[in-house]
Amino acid sequence: MPNTQLPLKPNALNELFKNPKPIIAMIHLPPLPGAPRYRGMEVEEIIDYALRDAEVLKGGDVDGLQVENIGDYPYLKPDDIGHETSSILAVVAREVRKATGLPTGVCCLANGVIPAIAACVASGARWVRAAEWANAYIADEGFVEAVAHKALRYRASLRADHVKVFADVMVKHGSHFIISDRPFEEQVKDVEFFDADAVIVSGTRTGAETPVEKVIKAKQSTSLPVLVGSGLNPENAEKLLTYADGAIVGSYLRQDGKFWNPIDINRVKTLMKTVKTIRG
The model's pLDDT over 191-249, given as tens digits with 9 standing for 90+, comes to: 999 999 999 999 877 778 899 999 999 999 999 999 999 999 999 999 999 999 999 99
User: What CATH number is associated with residue 180?
Assistant: 3.20.20.70
Q: Is residue 11 part of a domain?
A: no
The reply to whether 3 falls in a domain is: no
Q: Which residue has the higher pLDDT, 149 or 172?
A: 149
**Cα gap 280→268, rounded to integer Å:** 18
Nearest to 12 by CA among 198, 229, 243: 198
Residue 205 within any structural domain of the chain: yes
Separation of alpha carbons 130 and 151, rounded Å: 10
Given a cut of 70, is residue 105 above it in pLDDT? Answer: yes
**Beta-sheet strands, E only, within the chain:** 23-28, 64-68, 104-107, 127-130, 136-139, 142-145, 164-168, 174-175, 198-201, 226-228, 246-249
Q: What is the pLDDT of residues 2-13, one digit of tens each?
A: 555 678 899 999
Q: Over 60: is that where the pLDDT of 23 sits?
A: yes
Residue 158 lies in a domain: yes
135: in domain: yes
Interatomic CA distance for residues 157 and 174, integer angstroms:
31
Q: What is the pLDDT of residue 174?
A: 81
* Model confidence, pTM: 0.95
* Mean local confidence (pLDDT), 23-27: 98
Per the domain annotation, does 177 fall within a domain?
Answer: yes
Is a pLDDT exceeding 80 seen at residue 161?
A: yes
The pLDDT > 70 percentage for the chain reads: 98
In a domain, 13, yes or no: no
Q: How many domains does the chain have?
A: 1
93-107, 135-149, 151-165, 194-208: which range is least confident on average?
194-208
Domain encompassing residue 128? 19-279
Q: How far, in Å, CA of 168 to CA of 280, rounded?
A: 28
In a domain, 52, yes or no: yes
Strand partners, 26: 66
pLDDT in tens, 75-92: 999 999 999 999 999 999
Structure confidence at residue 96 (pLDDT): 98
Q: Are 227 and 248 in contact (CB under 8 A)?
A: yes
